[in-house]
Amino acid sequence: MRPALAVLSLSGALALTACQSDTPRPTRGHSALDIMERVAVGANTCWIKSGDGDFKGYAMAPELDSYSGRPRILLVRKNSGDIRPLLVVQAEGNPARLDAFGPMMDQPVRARIVRDVNRWSKGDKNC
């Protein structure tokens, strides 16, 4: 069974998903790496280092120098031997298409993740 997937295409190729308001949407004209650098800084600052209750039990693993062309960040359980990510946020292409998926996207925190990632992908640095 595949985990829930939130997808948005800026190129308009996925017009159906463009109608959904609860999917990450980066700003047009930015590369995947540009977008994911912003998202990684925001997630690290606002979710991990701040001690935010929604993300307190998680650690972040940024993988921005991906050879696959899909820079991403992973959230995993802190202090656990289980290294399977509970959240993956990745971008691909130029203009970037942003995806967020994993078990956390099936939880109430989904709306918060989407809202934060959308803001950070557009350059907003606030928590």
Contact 98, 117 (CB under 8 A): yes
Tens digits of residue pLDDT in 79-114? 888 889 999 999 998 888 999 999 999 999 999 999
How far apart are alpha carbons 70 and 91 in whole angstroms?
5
Q: What is the pTM of this model?
A: 0.77
How far apart are alpha carbons 106 and 5 in whole angstroms?
9
How far apart are alpha carbons 127 and 110 in whole angstroms?
16
The CB density around residue 41, as the number of other CB atoms within 10 Å, is: 13
- Two tokens at 127? 């928590």
Strands (E) located in 9-86 = 58-63, 72-77
Q: What is the pLDDT of residue 42?
A: 97
Tens digits of residue pLDDT in 33-64? 999 999 999 999 999 999 999 999 999 999 99
